[in-house]
Amino acid sequence: MLHTVTGAVAGETLDVLLAAETVLRAPGPIPRNRGGAATDAAFERAPVSMARLGRLQMGALNRDDRTLVASDAEPGLRRLSDVGRAGVVALAEWAVPAEPEARTAALVGLSRASGVAIVRGTVGLEGFTETVPDADTLHTRILTELRHSDAPAGVVGRVGPLDPDDAAARDRLAGAASAARAGGVALVLAAAPTLADTDRLLAVVDSAGLRRERVILTRVARFPIDALLERGTAVCFDDLGRIPTVRTRVSDHEVALAILRGAELGAGNRLLVSAGIRVKHRLTAWGGNGWEFISEQFLPHLRRLGASERLLHGVAVGNAARMLGRAEPCT
């Protein structure tokens, strides 16, 4: 059973479960006097519009683009619900509002309005807007969210990206991993820029006693699938549906081939997918492919490439539902 913000939901009742989404987001403050061009500063403060999509898709900074509030998310979630019975894992990443109680209330409202089941992620490291917590504070706050009386969180994180050379960051990762172990839930961890550094982060998770099969590794498309699977974690391809540009490093087609390769290696049960939308222009209302891209385009493409129905079901919903099921909490 999935612990959603509106109650327990059987994973097998869903058609798709997106394993790593932001849903609500607010950027940090804009530093003053950075020495950039006045035109860039003006663009950063301008509202998202169809006329500005070209620059946004090429990565130009824009505060409105990095802001997702409930009124932005609800139409996108409704479109996802129109495609089929859907669930979303909503991760806390500069979440709006920042306080867990208010964030939970916002996600409950979105779930009821859209019909999409929402599994709430606990604070990772981005949910603290004033100070970065120490490991003990993070551990305690995560457990509080996992044990929420009305709408408990169902997964820890996303945690990271983290610098493995930062001792305080490693301590906080250990705190988050130990909380996931104590709460009987999975940990969502962003991969480091290199596999060697990712291994160092996973070693911290190991030291906290959390089994690697309870880790969902995200932001992984740049790595070879064979090497990723050697790490023993679940692997979430969480950046699908981006409109390609000259800066596109890994295409969705290449991700589909990686999934097929993973299945050949006997690891089809560890592969998850998500759109990973963290900016407004990727929602359908602003010209993007939206959360429905997975159901409408990516999974049919995977089928055309020869994916079995068993693999398709696992990638679409089954694997994530299993990963998000609660184990017996550790004491």
Q: What is the DSSP letter of 51?
A: G
Arithmetic mean of pLDDT over the chain: 90
Whether 95 has a pLDDT exceeding 50, the answer reads: no
Strand pairing partners for 189? 159, 217
Mean pLDDT on 190-194? 95
- Over residues 129-156, mean pLDDT: 84
Confidence bin at 132 (pLDDT 50/70/90):
low
* Per-residue pLDDT reduced to its tens digit, 217-258: 999 999 999 999 999 999 999 999 998 887 788 999 999 999
| Stretch among 153-157, 196-200, 300-304 having the lowest mean pLDDT | 153-157
Q: Is residue 77 part of a domain?
A: yes
Q: Could you tell me the two tokens for 228?
A: 């990723």
- CA–CA distance, 308 with 302 (Å, rounded to integer): 9
Distance in angstroms (rounded) separating the CA atoms of residues 190 and 157: 9
Segment 297-306 shows an average pLDDT of: 98
As a whole number of angstroms, the distance between CA 53 and CA 285 comes to 12
Q: How far apart are CA 166 and CA 143, in angstroms?
A: 24
Residue 298: CATH number of its domain: 3.20.20.140
The verdict on residue 46 lying in a domain is no
Q: Residue 159: pLDDT above 60?
A: yes
Q: Is residue 161 assigned to a domain?
A: yes
Better pLDDT: 18 or 33: 18
Identify the weakest region by mean pLDDT among 52-61, 173-182, 264-273, 297-306. 52-61
pLDDT at 35: 64
Number of compact structural domains in the chain: 1
Domain extent at residue 227: 2-27+66-324
The count of residues in the chain is 331
Pair of tokens at residue 205? 């998770």
Structure tokens at 71: 């009124």
Confidence of residue 331 (pLDDT cuts 50, 70, 90): very low
Assess if residue 238 is contained within a domain: yes
Which strand (E) or helix (H) includes residue 142? helix 135-146
pLDDT of residue 58: 87
Q: Is the pLDDT of residue 29 over 90?
A: no
Residue 59 included in any domain: no
What confidence score (pLDDT) does residue 98 get? 59
Residue 117: its H or E element: strand 117-123
Q: Is residue 329 part of a domain?
A: no
Q: What is the mean pLDDT of residues 29-41?
A: 71
109-123, 140-154, 189-203, 230-244: lowest mean pLDDT where?
A: 140-154
In this prediction, residue 76 carries a pLDDT of: 96
74 in any annotated domain: yes
Residue 228: closest CA among 271, 257, 185:
271
**Local structure of 258: helix, strand or coil:** helix
Instruction: Please report whether residue 110 resides in a domain.
Output: yes
pTM of the model: 0.92
